Every structure is written in structure tokens, then in C-alpha cells.
Amino acid sequence: MGITKKHFESIIKCGANAVTMGNHTWGKKDIFTFIDDPKLIRPANYPEGVCGKGYGIYECKGKKIAVINLIGRTDISVLSENPFITADKILKKIQEDVDIIIVDFHAEATAEKIAMGYYLDGRVTALFGTHTHVQTADERILTKGTAYITDIGMTGPKESIIGMEVKASLKRFLTSLPEKYKVAGGECFLNGVIFEINEENCKTEKIYRINY
């Protein structure tokens, strides 16, 4: 729950160009020592004045790629601004200056994520959902050309309850008493999606899930 500088640097060392956050952005106090790193993006619709940034623009193969991070407001227990209006404001600023726009919408409700997909269809290159830890099977390219999936899933231990040890997690559900979560061990898997984007017109041609 949260990210440390050590983990962030490890992810970047593996080749990541950007790291997006979510409802656990402030889970580790360490975050404040690197929140302004150019490759770290927190939800853009946190209240105005909060440290960090909600989007970043990166260059790859001569193209300018914008990465936007948004957080949902349905059943997620985070006080945030309207993500739809925030998306509009950001796109108005950057859409003329970038070639590709990728959105990570960190939200609990599938309906809210699907609504965002339709709302931004044709205005962003790709939109993927995160947060629920379960990969959905609805990957597709929407009518106006935006690649979409409701949730890309998680990376972590197979024998777990969204990454946490089964025994400790079950105790919470059975007793309603607080129980410290413990990260599960054992064999791990990796979920994600790949967007194949045409380098000439910057349109997504294919989207497919990965599960290793």
C-alpha cells in the first residue's frame, strides 16, 4: 500500500518510462522525497495545490506521449475533484502538443471506468483501468478509435486475495475485526495489456491482454 523510493527506482531501472499512482499514493511517508520525479504521476484530480503532478509528457521514437492519471470517486474513499472535468481541462492544455495520449483511470466502479472510456473516446489514444486487481476481458477499440479495457489486473502472488495472504484476509471477512494484512508468498503472475500503436498516424491498431 503505497510506494517507496527503493521500489520506484527498481521499476524505473527495469525500463519503465512512467509510474502512475492511485488511492494509496500517500501510503508511505517516503513518497514526499520523490513525488516530483518527472517519471512519477499521481492522480490529476486530487485537490488543487497537492504536491506532485497529474500527467507527464515523454518522448519516444520522435513522438510526444502524454500519460494522464485520474482517480474515480465511486466507492473509493478518496476526496477528489470530478475526474471527467479534470480530464477535459488537461486535454484542452495538451492535445495540440502531443501525438499520443494514454490514460490510467484508477477506479473501483466498472460503470465509472466504462463511462470514462466513452467520454474520452476519440480524444485519447488508449485508456486502461486499474485498482480492482482483477483483469477484465473487455479489451476493445471503441467506435471513435480509443483502445479501452476496464481493468488491466495485477502483478503479484497467485495464491492470494488481491496480493494479500489468504488466512489474514479471510479473518477480516469472517470476524469483522482488524487484522494486519500480510503480502502473500509463492509463485507470482503478471497482468497487463499491450497497445499496438501505428507510428505514422498514432492510432491504436490492436489491444491485447497479457497474463504471465
- 77: confidence class by pLDDT, cuts 50, 70, 90: confident
Q: What is the mean pLDDT of residues 143-156?
A: 97
pLDDT of amino acid 129: 98
Q: Is the pLDDT of residue 212 over 90?
A: yes
- Residue 1 confidence (pLDDT) above 90: no
Q: Is the pLDDT of residue 145 over 90?
A: yes
Q: Has residue 151 got a pLDDT over 90? A: yes
| Interval 8-29 mean pLDDT | 96
Residue 24 annotated among the catalytic residues of the structure: yes
- Please check the confidence at residue 82 and state whether its pLDDT lies above 90: yes
Our CA dihedral for 132, 138, 142, 143, rounded to 10 degrees, sits at: -140
For 157-197, how does the pLDDT look when each residue is reduced to its tens digit (9 = 90+)? Answer: 999 999 999 998 999 899 988 888 889 999 999 999 999 99
Mean pLDDT (the chain, rounded): 96
Q: 169 to each of 35, 135, 160, 176, how far by Cα in Å?
A: 30, 20, 9, 10
Average pLDDT over residues 117-140: 97
Give the rounded percent of residues in the chain with a pLDDT score beyond 70.
100
Q: Check residue 39 and give its pLDDT.
A: 97
Q: How far apart are CA 6 and CA 44, in angstroms?
A: 24
Q: Could you tell me the domains of the chain?
A: 5-154 (3.60.21.10)
Distance CA 76, CA 22 (A): 10
**Which one from 24, 106, 131, 133 is the annotated catalytic residue?**
24
